[in-house]
Amino acid sequence: METSRFVKEKFKGKLETIIPKMGSSQTAVSEMKFYGPRQVSEGVIFSGFYPQAKNVRLAGDFNNWQPDKTPMQKVGDGTWQVRLSLAKGTYKYRLVVDGRWQSDPNNKMTEPNPYGELNSVIKVS
């Protein structure tokens, strides 16, 4: 996966603990020290900091752009996260924070979408 130089430098060597979400292939990550997408051996961790949010969801071509299929879990002091098992490839996604769609502010890889906004992009290797 390509990530920005900022993400690679800031979070090099950080550890995280994966916690399985009951009855799901998704997991939450505790004690996370980064925001944005990050490829790990178990999949891709998506994380964001939204301390005022009541719910955060992930929508992309991996879930047919249906945010209700991929809710993020709130951990700690405003950090929201989810881990997905994704096959190799390039994926487009957006975050849905309290019903408002937005690109991932922690991922500089973007491309325009048909609605005049930006989709965030990740490449899973």
Q: Which domain holds residue 116?
A: 5-124
* Phi-psi category of residue 67: left, alpha or beta, with phi > 0 → left and psi -120 to 50 → alpha: alpha
pTM of the predicted model over 0.85: no
CATH assignment at residue 27: 2.60.40.10
38 vs 83: CA distance, rounded Å: 9
* Phi-psi category of residue 76: left, alpha or beta, with phi > 0 → left and psi -120 to 50 → alpha: left
52 vs 38: CA distance, rounded Å: 23
User: Which residues, in sequence order, are bridge partners of residue 38?
Assistant: 45
Which two three-digit tokens encode residue 51? 């301390």
Which two three-digit tokens encode residue 6? 């900022």
Phi, psi of 52, deg, nearest 5: -95, -5
Give residue 26's pLDDT: 53
- pLDDT digit string, tens, across residues 6-24: 333 333 333 343 444 444 4
- pLDDT digit string, tens, across residues 54-71: 999 999 999 999 999 999
Of all residues in the chain, the percent with pLDDT exceeding 70 is 74
Q: Domain tally for the chain?
A: 1
Which two three-digit tokens encode residue 60? 């992309």
Give residue 77's pLDDT: 87
Mean predicted lDDT score pLDDT of the chain: 82
For residue 104, the Cα-to-chain-centroid distance in whole angstroms is 8
Q: Is residue 70 a contact partner of residue 61, using CB atoms and an 8 Å limit?
A: no
